[in-house]
Chain A
């Protein structure tokens, strides 16, 4: 069989960093290729080179045997390569239909929306998700729905090669398994599908073949049938042994350290506000918070971190209220470690160096003039301990990759001795080794008596590590389930807003 895409010796450099170091890869029609590997291994970069998003610095790419060189994604789409990014390229203010028409290729610009054209542009969407009303604005859609619209938009271009960049990271288990079905369908229609993923579940559910990337090269490649999940994991991480944390012991004390009492927040642009949530976390206890993204988990975390005003209710840490009279949480302190989602937007200052970014909590205790003498050394130690790459304290934070930024934030927030930890998707975008390290660190804090509130998109994480799982839907607490009573399906139903019998 001739490959749909043939890549030979592809090189991509960013300044002095080599992201792709002579990659050879074949992608076959009718097959799902899972592209896996640790953070910064060069998976997304390689696919962006194929998609014409980045120019390449060396090597050869052929599609259906013809050598190609794409100057932009427009060329790539014309040649039949479509890519769905982690960050969606939809216009929130336009309706679903308008978004699909904007990207519809055949119509000249002067031609209005004709009925057949509308019909054809909606054909894929109807097949993928018949429940989505095409007149709704994209801004009103849930993240999972946007993902489907984005996929429909790409499929409308009738690509022969479809690239999906971590498509399941924002989906509920049910949505994810439906997506796995679509992916199989696409392959059955003869399309070549590339699935970039960190999740073993994605790989086992739909991949025909896997390619493992490490340090800019494809280090291992072959059909799925020949491997067990354990073999895939070890191929992804190489020689490094991952010590998966064992189930945490029961909480040390039963007195609640972090108490949330009938807390409500104001509505913001991002998803539902928190409404009337009451939740207690004991010292040493890990409470997982599950929910489809945009259902108030982040609003809850931001309220606890003092970032969003509180309308009513209270939150206390060791009995002391975190909420001031004016609704904001007063001077935040490192007694509460807070790991926000999307670190580049919410946790670091991109144009300041790593040393300052690691030192932010101590800023108010700095002398008025001059940095503390130990700033650089402390930064160096933390970067090494949490394996942030490159470990250069003078580097600007914006220069780090997403996964390394996440590690930087973890290093800052979890290197001390917080009384409570509020973590939003702390393992999102991390590779298997780094994610395991984060889980271990969180468990250590719990073992030392910290109250841990853990927001996760990964139900397996929560089912494995949390003592109890709280589920939010539209900002309200649907229920809190002890781990022993929790099942994937049950939690999934509660995430969709169905009241659990157990709760």
Chain B
């Protein structure tokens, strides 16, 4: 039928057009930013793309950044499918890193086959516990989860500081606040000789599993029912408190996994500065992806590239250090603005 064909073209246009417009607007805005700091806009933009995906090394660095962002985005996405707004991925990341490190510090001489899995599991458990707290508060006492997760982020970051400046500081570091280096048995190996580590694979696997589970399983429908209408959920016997605790715990586990992977693969020891805002970045990524797992992979990769390119630009093109963060902010603002306009046009149309 012609009408069906037309509506399909329309659907395709409304799916493809906004990202293209978004990219165009972002390039304009970013070019303007480079111009304002006295850099040639086109050259710098081209450099940026090169530094993100130009060669094998750049690509690997992009993937290194993608891993924690993806895991943190999924940690936000899962509560969001119940309608909860969790901003606590950073705190979960820190506590995951702490608990994983505790295992390594307790049994530094254990064989790799035991130590590495135990470390990772402890990281997951740490994040999960840190997610469970706001989950219980929300489910049982109706305490706003956004506020609690936001505040617990400080608790997580400062716990790391307290430990590495205090009891866990390695005397061999000559005053540098960090634990002893992880033994090889507790180190997550890089893939194919790069710094890209298994955290990326965990993130990809989690995204795919979540995509299938949320779309096809009974549990996915139950979450959708509770998000859409609490009362109806209660009427058919679903428990919002139980689901709130479950999604916050599972999401927290993913955040904790991001933390322990970062420690065990990249940093090699627990130290402050573990996360460069991965939690908040992940939150925005999840939001931009419409809380759908598969688009989250793509957006995480894009943002990972932006961060990695920002690091390289700073080194080679003498762009100020804050540029990467500024560009990230501009990208998110552009994406939200274009998304908002597209949404309004769609509504006016329908």
Contacts and interface: CB of A to CB of B under 8 A. Distances in A.
A364 B222 CA distance: 9
Contacts of B236: 332, 360-361, 363-364
| 6 pairs of A and B residues whose beta carbons are closest in the complex | A349-B228, A331-B237, A366-B218, A349-B229, A360-B236, A15-B350
Given A307-B235, A369-B218, 11 more contacts: A305-B235, A340-B235, A346-B231, A346-B232, A349-B224, A351-B228, A352-B228, A356-B221, A361-B236, A364-B236, A366-B218
Interface string B213-228: 0001111011011001
Interface string A300-313: 00000111000000
Contacts of A80: none
A363 B228 contact: no
A238 interface: no
Nearest to B228: A349
B242 interface: no
A350 B235 contact: no
B213 to A, nearest CB: 8
A369 B234 CA distance: 22
Interface of A: 15, 305-307, 331-332, 338, 340, 345-352, 356, 360-361, 363-364, 366-370
Contact of A360 (B216, B217, B232, B350): B232
A369 B217 contact: yes
Interface of B: 216-219, 221-222, 224-225, 228-229, 231-232, 234-237, 350
Contacts of A340: 231, 235
A363 B229 contact: no
Contacts of A15: 350
A361 B231 CA distance: 14
A16 B197 CA distance: 51
B232 to A, nearest CB: 6
B225 A349 contact: yes
Contacts of A346: 229, 231-232
26 contacts: A15-B350, A306-B237, A307-B234, A307-B235, A331-B237, A332-B235, A332-B237, A340-B231, A340-B235, A346-B231, A349-B225, A349-B229, A351-B224, A351-B228, A352-B225, A356-B221, A360-B225, A360-B232, A361-B236, A363-B218, A363-B221, A363-B225, A363-B236, A366-B221, A368-B217, A368-B218
Chain B interface, >50% SS class: helix
B230 to A, nearest CB: 10
Chain A interface, >50% SS class: loop
Contacts of B224: 349, 351-352, 356
B224 to A, nearest CB: 6
Nearest to A334: B236
A212 B37 CA distance: 69
Contacts of B221: 352, 356, 363, 366
Contact of B228 (A350, A368, A369): A350
A6 B229 CA distance: 43
Contacts, number: 62
A402 to B, nearest CB: 16
Given A360-B225, A363-B225, A306 B218 contact: no
Contacts of A349: 224-225, 228-229, 232
Q: Which of A15, A340, A352 has the most CB of B within 10 A?
A: A352
Nearest to A15: B350
B345 to A, nearest CB: 14
A431 to B, nearest CB: 25
B216 A364 contact: no
Contacts of B217: 368-370
Contacts of B231: 307, 340, 345-346
Q: Which of B216, B219, B232 has the most CB of A within 10 A?
A: B232
A348 B235 CA distance: 10
B237 A364 contact: yes
A400 B235 CA distance: 21
B76 to A, nearest CB: 20
B216 to A, nearest CB: 6
Contacts of A347: 232, 235
Contacts of A331: 237
A26 B235 CA distance: 47
B232 A363 contact: no
A57 to B, nearest CB: 13
A306 B231 CA distance: 10
A361 B225 CA distance: 12
Nearest to B236: A360
B219 A368 contact: yes
A347 B235 CA distance: 8
A364 B225 CA distance: 12
B229 A350 contact: yes
A369 B225 CA distance: 16
A349 B350 CA distance: 21
Contacts of B218: 363, 366-369
Contacts of A352: 221, 224-225, 228
Contacts of A351: 224, 228
